[in-house]
Structure 1
Amino acid sequence: MTGQDLQFSGGPDALTWLQGWYATQCDGDWEHEYGLSIETLDNPGWFLQVDLQDTAMDGRAFPRYEVRRSEHDWLIARVVDMRFEVACGPLNLSEAIHQFRAWVAEQARPLPD
């Protein structure tokens, strides 16, 4: 996946999109019990975790996605215990957010007749 693949045509960058997604979940209740976090890993890398409970993504299937390009260029995304989790290399955080964004966008598309 290239940097161009990570951008949605005419849309905000990945971090701006994630901020917007989070803001739309905040309803006075959700943010008190759920949320999202971005942490660093010691191998090195990033870990993104998004609570899905009480969101439009709650209960949606996500097939595990894994790509390993090199020691520091990798990504593993999955849904575990109603959380979207992505672990990735030190330069793959935008790609990790993109994986979540693409899944949300795919689930929002209407089913064909």
Structure 2
Amino acid sequence: MEILEWIQNWFQNNCDGDWEHGDAIQITTLDNPGWDVEIDISKTSIANLEIKWVLNENGKQDWYGVKIQNQRFRAAGDASKLTYLLNLFREMIEKIENE
């Protein structure tokens, strides 16, 4: 399943009449240029997971970072990494749910 279809389904499955009224999923741009993804995971199986910021940098135009803190998945990356960042989130959710 394509990542956009998966994230749409994940969003719909997590809507409970309350959660979706907040900032459930935010995708914004960075000025360096790049992407910033923030997802509320408070209603998920990884809600209590904490991961300190991990930066993977191969160059000025090839980097991404990820963390989970305060029940928020946060990831950022260069301008080519939006799909990659969303797939990182998907992999985390699917790995925990399959354990």
Displacement of 1:65 in angstroms is 3.6
1:81-103 superposed Cα distances (whole Å, 9 cap, x missing partner): 21000010000101101110110
- Structure 1 residues 106, 62: closer, same or farther in 2, change over 3 A? farther
Displacement of 1:41 in angstroms is 0.2
* Maintained 8 Å contact 1:34/1:53: no
The equivalent residue for 2:5 is: 16
Question: Whose strand proportion is higher, 1 or 2?
Answer: 2
Q: 2:85 aligns with which of 93, 96, 105?
A: 96
Q: 2:47 aligns with which of 42, 50, 58?
A: 58
Q: Could you say what the CA RMSD is over the residues aligned between the two structures, in angstroms?
A: 1.5
1:30 aligns with 2:34: no
> Structure 2: which 5+ residue stretches go unaligned?
none
Identity of aligned residues (%): 29
Segments of 4+ moved more than 4 angstroms = none
Structure 2: distance between partners of 1:34 and 1:26: 12
Displacement of 1:24 in angstroms is 0.8
1:80 aligns with 2:69: yes
1:58-95 superposed Cα distances (whole Å, 9 cap, x missing partner): 11244644321221111101012210000100001011
Q: How many residues align?
A: 99
Larger radius of gyration: 1
1:43 aligns with 2:27: no
Structure 2: distance between partners of 1:64 and 1:106: 19
Which TM-score applies when normalising by structure 1?
A: 0.79
Which TM-score applies when normalising by structure 2?
A: 0.89
* Maintained 8 Å contact 2:50/2:69: no
1:106 aligns with 2:95: yes
Residue type matched to 1:53 in 2?
S
Single out whichever of 28-37 and 78-87 deviates more from structure 2: 28-37
